[in-house]
Amino acid sequence: MPANELSREWYETFLDPIPAELTESEVAWIERQAPPGQFPRVLDVCCGPGRHTAALALRGYQVLGVDANGDALARAVLSAPRAAAFRRLDMRSLDSLAESFDLVTNLWHSFGYFDDAGNADVLRQMGARLRVGGRLLIDLYNRDHIATLPLVESYERGGRRVASRRSWDGPRHRVELEYEGGGRDEVEFRLYDPAEFAALARGAGLGPKLACAWFRESLVPSAEHARMQFVLAPEP
């Protein structure tokens, strides 16, 4: 498949085995940063099969999930509660949405797929969908950590063996995946360290209010931690 067009095997291997307890802990972090009573209307960008969209809706948010992958959206609709709606939309076309939202989420590293100008514009568009006083919550891989991982490895995930090959072109990271029994994926994205992403956010008119790791407010992003989260708000 072309880079970043994820296969059925990818979803079955990496997403389906995620335990409900992990999703609930991530959504609990979102609720702490933006309670539904104050931030009821949510835009979930790159929602995939609706893992977070559905959990947010069950916690009292009104959620619109958008994604470019029609198969993933079809899965999302099947298990969605009433407070969740879905629309097929590329994240580069968020300006086409007429609605504004109290909260925009972009989770499970669904950012950085384009060139630097394209990524900056996606971030701007996410911010532009916020009402005054709204929040953007984004979950990313930390480049400082990913750079420590082996270039070639084999592991088991979701009950199948996966062969992984990584390569770098400056800050751009490419991963080639081959699955036991057949199938492969290629994923390529621009990775950021915490300071770089904070600067990118400010350039998009979004001020960082919190940076943490693994959805724990007290855990500072560092090379020890693969994931980092930012709470961003429009600057005056």
Is the pLDDT at 60 greater than 50? The verdict is yes
User: Angle at which helices 194-203 and 116-128 pack, to 10 degrees?
Assistant: 60
Contact assessment for residue 22 and residue 34, using Cβ atoms and an 8 Å cutoff = no
Q: Tell me the C-alpha distance between 203 and 198, whole Å.
A: 9
Share of the chain above pLDDT 90, in %: 86
3-state secondary structure labels for all residues of 87-149:
EECCHHHHHHCCCCEEEEEECCCCCCCCCHHHHHHHHHHHHHCEEEEEEEEEEEEEHHHHCCC
Is the pLDDT at 16 greater than 90? The verdict is no
- Rg of the Cα atoms in the chain: 17
Is the pLDDT at 4 greater than 90? The verdict is no
Pick from 36-45, 138-147, 156-165: least confident: 156-165
- Note the pLDDT tens digit of each residue in 132-142: 999 999 999 99
Is the pLDDT at 2 greater than 70? The verdict is no
Give the CATH number of domain 8-142+190-234.
Answer: 3.40.50.150
- Note the pLDDT tens digit of each residue in 106-130: 999 999 999 999 999 999 999 999 9
Q: Report the pLDDT value the prediction gives residue 3, as an integer from 0 to 100.
A: 57
Is the pLDDT at 1 greater than 50? The verdict is no
Q: Tell me the C-alpha distance between 140 and 129, whole Å.
A: 20
Q: Tell me the C-alpha distance between 54 and 47, whole Å.
A: 10
- Note the pLDDT tens digit of each residue in 32-55: 999 999 999 999 999 999 999 999
Coil, helix or strand at residue 201: helix
| Edge-to-edge strand list for the sheet holding 152-157 | 152-157, 160-169, 172-179, 184-190
Coil, helix or strand at residue 229: strand
Coil, helix or strand at residue 40: coil
Domain ranges of the chain: 8-142+190-234, 145-187
Q: What is the pTM of this model?
A: 0.94
- Note the pLDDT tens digit of each residue in 169-191: 999 999 999 999 889 999 999 99
